[in-house]
Amino acid sequence: VGTYTGNTATSPSLIMGAGSYSVYLTSENTDGRIAIGYRETPMDPEEYDRLLKVHKGELNNPPKHYVEIFSSDLTGRISKDEVVYTLNLSTPTNIGFSIYTSAEQGNLSVDIIGQSSNYYGLVHPERFRICDQLETTLQPGKYQFKLTCEHANGQVSIFLKQ
């Protein structure tokens, strides 16, 4: 499904067939831990249709109760850690976010950087074009949604549920 190096958090939405899957943690240089969580939900046909539309490039198909906080055409855009949205929380808050891209080439990353939690590489033109309904509890503090892109095509859209 994917390989990750360094200190990385990721949460791709995957539709996986029945069967067994393995996760391996290998490091010759660093002791570490890996935390794996999953949520198994039967696929609603309407949900499948919504995700298929997103996959085909119709990015304005967020889940219910999600609102768009950022959208951009990536063609010709060059950004390095550009803050596209800031979230200031005064109490622990449950949030959900969905990030979609139709980009199929170039460099693209959407990261969420905060005082106590970081999420890196939530979408990628070749591996993960859909990060759907990632829900988490964020501690109080400032969180920035950062865009990095160069030579990318297509669009990117970010939706938030609070």
SS3 (DSSP) at 54:
helix
- pLDDT at 136 exceeding the cut of 90: no
Q: What is the pTM of this model?
A: 0.73
pLDDT at 67: 97
Question: Cβ distance 74 to 153 under 8 Å?
Answer: yes
- pLDDT at 5 exceeding the cut of 80: no
Q: Tell me the pLDDT tens digit for each residue of 67-101.
A: 999 999 999 999 999 999 999 999 999 999 999 99
pLDDT at 125: 80
Assigned token pair, 117: 């939690």
pLDDT at 82: 97
pLDDT at 31: 67
pLDDT at 6: 56
Domains in the chain, ordered, with CATH? 45-161 (2.60.120)
